[in-house]
């Protein structure tokens, strides 16, 4: 069983969590002109890295908080987790 350390609740089983996608994607600035390409990149285009990756996770059956996790996509090792307001 994979354990994930929630920044609020501590070590919990992966079945309490939901994967939230790439944690590095930034939304285009509000009230700024956005090209179709920029919007397309933001909505659809994702890298599929092998190795360390920063991801969003949601402790959906726990404290219901979003947080970031640094995970190796090949080994599933989780190196670090941090609150959304914190740098990882």
Q: Where on the chain is the footprint of other proteins (CB under 8 A)?
A: 1, 8-13, 15-16, 60-65
65 Cβ neighbours under 8 A, 6+ residues apart: 6, 7, 8, 58, 59, 83, 84
Closest separation in Å from C-beta 15 to other proteins? 6
Which of 24, 61 has the CB closer to other proteins? 61
Q: Which is nearer to other proteins, 22 or 66 (CB)?
A: 66
CB of 10 to other proteins, least distance (A): 8
b/e for 63-72, b at 16 or more Cβ within 10 A?
Answer: eeeebbbbbe
- Nearest distance from residue 63's CB to other proteins, in Å? 3
Which pair of tokens denotes residue 51?
């190795």
């Amino acid at each position: 069983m994979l354990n994930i350390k929630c920044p609020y609740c501590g070590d919990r089983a992966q079945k309490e969590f939901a994967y939230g996608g790439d944690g590095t994607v930034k939304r285009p600035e509000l009230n700024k002109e956005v090209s179709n390409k920029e919007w397309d990149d933001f909505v659809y285009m994702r890298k599929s890295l092998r190795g360390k990756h920063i991801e969003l996770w949601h402790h959906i059956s726990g404290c219901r908080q979003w947080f970031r996790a640094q995970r190796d996509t090949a080994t599933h090792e989780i190196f670090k987790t941090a609150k959304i307001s914190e740098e990882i």
